[in-house]
Amino acid sequence: MDKIYLDQLEFFAYHGVFDHEKRDGQTFFVSAVLELDLTAAGESDDLETTVNYGEVYDLIADVTLNRQFDLIEKLALTLIEELFAAFPPLTAVTIRVDKPKAPGTTCKFPAAVELRRERK
């Protein structure tokens, strides 16, 4: 299947289990792989025959910036569900959410989750 990639979209948001994460916020990176048939777009050079990745960015930004989740797993799954709802041509979506400064008990460390779902 053909793929569209949006890599390392940077957002300052307020996700996390701890109160200070919800209060102070931190940087997150979201990457998306959108699977769909791009044959018509390649042949026609017409935006109407593909998924507008500007609109995809806007959806990812809206969910990431305007909702709050304890877990990045929930953020990733919500993004997938919203992308499927908004863009019917998608056959599969992979979302990776990176949290470069996840709080540990003694230090901060990079953490990430990646979820892939196929349209049912």
Tell me what pLDDT residue 103 has.
87
Per-residue pLDDT band for 9 (boundaries 50, 70, 90) equals: very high
**Is residue 3 among the annotated active site residues?**
no
| Rounded Cα distance, 82 and 18, in Å | 26
Condensed to tens digits (0 to 9), the pLDDT of residues 27-52 reads: 999 999 999 999 999 999 999 999 99
Condensed to tens digits (0 to 9), the pLDDT of residues 51-83 reads: 999 999 999 999 999 999 999 999 999 999 999
Catalytic residue among 99, 101, 108, 120: 99
Q: Which alpha helices (H) appear in the chain, and where do they start and end?
A: 19-24, 39-44, 53-66, 72-86
All structural domains of the chain: 2-118 (3.30.1130.10)
